[in-house]
C-alpha cells in the first residue's frame, strides 16, 4: 500500500504512469491495468482492486493524473455507489461476481430508487418483488433513472413484505437490465436532453443470489447508497469522459475506443458538460468564464466568483470527509447532507453568475453560442441538483434532527404494516374502491 508523504505518493503514481500509460491501448485495456494496480479506485480495499488509502490522499493522486492528461477509472453509479455498497452489505459471492466488472469498467449500473408515488419518501416504494423459487418476480415502476438506457445492471429497491412496516419490508437487488420484463422510456428535459428515464417492470426476474443481505434489509443498503451519492465522486481520480457521455454510450463501446483517439478528440482532457453537476468543474466554472474575452468583470461579479470558488473548495473537503465516513462504515452521517446542500448552493450561485458574466450570450444554445451553449444548459439543469439524491428539504430535516437535536417530524405510519397504508398508488386504489 502506498504511504508516506505526498511527494512519495506523487513519485509512486508517476512511476506507474510512466510504465503503464500507453496511447495504443484501448480504454478497456487501460481500465483493467488501473484495476489491477489499485490506482483507479485508491480508497477501495487492497483485496478489491484498491490501495486502501484515505480520501485525504486523493487530491495528490488526482493532480498527477490530470497533469498528465491521463484517463481515469470508469465512472458511473455502479463505481460510485454500487461497489462500495457491496463491500459493506454484499455477500462474498456478490463481491466476487461484481467488483471486478465495476473496477475494470466492464459494466455500467443505474439506480432504481425513485417512484412516481413515493416522492422523497423512499421507504414507501411500492415496486414489488415476490419470491418464486430461486428467483424474485418484480412488478412496478421507477422514474428519474439516470443512464438506464445503457446500463447493464441496476440497484433496485423493491417491496418484499407487505405485512411489515415500510422501512422493514424492502429488499435491495442487483438486477440485470437487458431482459424482456424491463422497459426503459426516456424523459425529455427542458434542457432538450433525456438524461433521465422512467422504467417499467412487468414480471421482470432477478435471482435470489442477487438479493443484497436478507429480505427486509433493503433500507440499510439504500441509506448507504444515498450516503455515497450525496458525498459525490470523491473516490475516483483522473479525467473522464463526462457523465452525459457515459449515460449515452454502452460500456462495451467505451472500452473499445483507443486511448489515443480519446485524447486527440478531447485535446488531452477528456472532459465535458456534466448535467448532474453544472458548473462545478471544468470549462463551465465561473473562475474560467470571467477570463473569457468580453466577460463582465465588475466588482460585484468578481466577489460572487470568489464566493463560488470558496464554496467549491470547502465542499471538496466536506466531500472527502463524508466519503471517508461512508467508506469506514459509519453510515449516512450529517456530513453527506452538508455536502449535498453545499452542492445545491454552489449550483445556484453558478446559475446566476454564468449569464451575468456572458450577458445575452449566456442565454444562447447550440454550437455557435458562447461555450457551445453550455452556460444556458447549466442554467436550465440547475433545479435538478436540489432534487437528485434527496431533496434539500430532506437534508435540512436530517441536519435539524441529528445535529441540532430538534424534534423529529411526526411519523404516524412508521410502525404500520405497509398493506394498511394509503400512499401513492395504494391511496389511488383505495379511493377507487371507496367510490
Question: Taking the alpha carbons of 261, 262, 265, 267 in that order, is the dihedral positive or negative?
Answer: negative
pLDDT at 412: 80
Q: Please report, for the chain, the start and end positions of each structural domain, with discontinuous segments joined by +.
A: 6-75+233-259, 109-230, 282-402
State the architecture of 282-402 in CATH terms: Up-down Bundle (1.20)
pLDDT at 109: 96
H/E stretch holding 261 reads helix 259-265
Least confident range from 32-41, 48-57, 314-323: namely 314-323
How many whole angstroms separate alpha carbon 318 and alpha carbon 231? 8
Is residue 275 scored above 70 in pLDDT?
no
Least confident range from 147-151, 236-240, 265-269: namely 265-269
How many whole angstroms separate alpha carbon 314 and alpha carbon 306? 12
Arithmetic mean of pLDDT, 59-71: 89
Furthest-apart CA atoms within the chain: distance in Å:
73
Computed over every residue of the chain, the mean pLDDT equals 83
Q: What is the pTM of this model?
A: 0.80
Q: Is 229 a catalytic residue?
A: yes
Arithmetic mean of pLDDT, 388-397: 83
Q: Decide if 109-230 and 282-402 have a common fold.
A: no
Could you give the percent of the chain with pLDDT greater than 90? 42
Q: Which grid coordinates are listed for 16?
A: 506507474
Is residue 272 scored above 60 in pLDDT?
no
Are the C-beta atoms of residues 237 and 61 closer than 8 Å to each other?
yes
H/E stretch holding 259 reads helix 259-265
Is residue 401 scored above 70 in pLDDT?
yes
Q: Per residue in 317-331, is it b (16+ CB within 10 Å) or e — as a string? A: ebbbbbbbbbbeeee
Is residue 281 scored above 50 in pLDDT?
no
pLDDT at 333: 65
Arithmetic mean of pLDDT, 246-253: 78
pLDDT at 338: 85
- Range with top average pLDDT, 207-221, 298-312, 412-426: 207-221
- How many C-beta neighbours within 10 Å does residue 149 have? 19
Bridging pattern class, strands 109-112 and 128-132: unpaired
Identify which of 339, 306, 309, 308 has the alpha carbon closest to the alpha carbon of residue 322: 339
How many whole angstroms separate alpha carbon 81 and alpha carbon 157? 14
Is residue 430 scored above 80 in pLDDT?
no
- Range with top average pLDDT, 170-179, 290-299, 423-432: 170-179
- Range with top average pLDDT, 113-117, 260-264, 386-390, 413-417: 113-117
Could you give the percent of the chain with pLDDT greater than 70? 83
Arithmetic mean of pLDDT, 115-126: 86
pLDDT at 315: 83
Are the C-beta atoms of residues 339 and 395 closer than 8 Å to each other?
no
pLDDT band at 335 (very low <50, low <70, confident <90, very high): confident
Burial class (CB in 10 A: 0-12, 13-18, 19+), 214: exposed
Between 237 and 132, the more confident residue is: 132
pLDDT band at 130 (very low <50, low <70, confident <90, very high): very high
Is residue 336 scored above 90 in pLDDT?
no
Arithmetic mean of pLDDT, 300-310: 85
pLDDT band at 329 (very low <50, low <70, confident <90, very high): low
Catalytic entry in 32, 229, 244, 246: 229
pLDDT band at 386 (very low <50, low <70, confident <90, very high): confident
- The DSSP secondary-structure symbol of 431 reads H
Is residue 348 scored above 60 in pLDDT?
yes
- Range with top average pLDDT, 246-250, 252-256, 281-285, 377-381: 252-256
DSSP 364-428: --STTSGGGGHHHHHHHHHHHHTTTTS-HHHHHHHHHHHTS-PPPPP-TTTTSBGGG---HHHHH
CATH 3.50.30.60 fits 109-230, yes or no: no
pLDDT at 357: 84
Between 66 and 275, the more confident residue is: 66
Arithmetic mean of pLDDT, 204-231: 92
Chain centroid to CA 311: how far? 20
H-only helix segments in 21-155: 27-37, 58-67, 77, 83-89, 92-103
pLDDT at 172: 98
Least confident range from 201-215, 219-233, 337-351: namely 219-233
CA distances from 326 to 74, 91, 135, 250 (A): 20, 18, 31, 29
- Between vectors from CA 333 to CA 410 and to CA 175, what angle results, nearest 5°? 90
- Range with top average pLDDT, 76-80, 91-95, 378-382: 91-95
H/E stretch holding 325 reads helix 299-327
Q: List pLDDT tens digits, range 28-44.
A: 999 999 999 999 999 89
How many whole angstroms separate alpha carbon 434 and alpha carbon 428? 10
Q: List pLDDT tens digits, range 357-370.
A: 888 888 888 888 87
Amino acid at each position: 500500500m502506498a504511504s508516506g508523504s505526498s511527494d512519495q505518493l506523487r513519485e509512486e503514481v508517476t512511476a506507474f504512469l510512466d510504465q503503464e500509460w500507453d496511447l495504443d491501448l484501448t480504454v478497456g485495456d487501460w481500465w483493467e491495468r488501473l484495476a489491477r494496480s489499485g490506482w483507479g479506485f485508491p480508497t477501495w480495499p487492497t483485496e478489491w482492486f484498491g490501495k486502501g488509502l484515505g480520501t485525504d490522499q486523493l487530491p495528490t493522486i488526482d493532480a498527477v493524473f490530470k497533469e498528465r492528461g491521463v484517463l481515469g477509472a470508469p465512472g458511473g453509479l455502479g463505481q460510485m455507489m454500487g461497489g462500495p455498497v457491496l463491500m459493506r452489505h454484499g455477500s462474498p459471492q456478490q463481491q466476487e461476481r461484481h467488483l471486478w466488472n465495476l473496477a475494470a469498467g466492464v459494466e455500467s449500473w443505474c439506480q432504481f430508487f425513485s417512484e412516481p408515488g413515493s416522492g422523497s419518501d423512499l421507504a414507501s416504494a411500492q415496486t414489488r418483488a415476490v419470491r418464486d423459487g430461486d428467483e424474485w418476480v418484480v412488478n412496478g415502476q421507477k422514474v428519474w433513472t439516470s443512464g438506464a438506457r445503457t446500463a447493464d445492471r441496476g440497484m433496485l429497491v423493491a417491496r418484499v413484505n407487505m405485512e411489515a412496516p415500510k422501512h422493514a419490508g424492502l429488499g435491495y437487488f442487483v438486477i440485470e437490465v437487458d431482459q424482456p420484463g424491463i422497459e426503459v422510456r426516456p424523459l425529455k428535459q427542458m434542457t432538450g436532453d433525456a438524461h433521465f428515464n422512467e422504467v417499467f417492470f412487468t414480471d421482470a426476474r432477478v435471482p435470489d443470489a442477487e438479493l443484497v443481505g436478507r429480505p427486509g434489509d433493503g433500507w440499510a443498503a439504500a441509506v448507504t447508497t444515498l450516503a455515497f451519492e450525496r458525498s459525490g465522486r470523491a473516490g475516483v481520480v483522473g479525467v473522464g469522459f463526462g457523465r452525459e457521455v457515459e449515460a449515452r454510450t454502452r460500456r462495451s463501446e467505451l472500452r473499445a475506443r483507443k486511448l489515443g483517439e480519446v485524447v486527440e478528440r478531447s485535446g488531452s482532457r477528456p472532459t465535458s458538460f456534466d448535467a448532474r453537476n453544472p458548473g462545478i468543474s471544468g470549462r463551465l466554472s465561473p473562475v474560467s468564464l470571467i477570463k473569457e474575452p468580453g466577460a463582465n468583470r465588475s466588482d460585484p461579479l468578481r466577489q460572487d466568483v470568489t464566493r463560488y470558488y470558496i464554496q467549491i473548495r470547502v465542499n471538496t473537503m466536506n466531500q472527502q470527509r463524508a466519503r471517508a465516513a461512508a467508506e469506514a462504515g459509519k453510515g449516512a452521517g450529517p456530513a453527506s447532507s452538508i455536502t449535498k446542500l453545499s452542492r445545491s448552493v454552489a449550483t445556484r450561485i453558478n446559475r446566476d453568475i454564468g449569464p451575468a458574466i456572458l450577458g445575452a450570450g449566456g442565454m444562447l444554445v447550440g454550437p455557435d453560442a458562447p461555450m457551445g451553449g453550455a452556460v444556458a444548459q447549466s442554467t436550465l439543469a440547475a433545479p435538478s441538483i436540489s432534487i437528485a439524491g434527496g431533496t434539500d428539504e430532506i437534508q435540512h430535516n436530517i441536519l435539524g434532527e441529528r445535529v441540532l437535536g430538534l424534534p423529529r417530524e411526526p411519523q404516524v405510519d412508521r410502525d404500520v404494516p405497509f398493506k394498511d397504508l394509503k400512499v401513492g398508488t395504494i391511496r389511488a386504489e383505495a379511493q377507487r374502491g371507496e367510490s
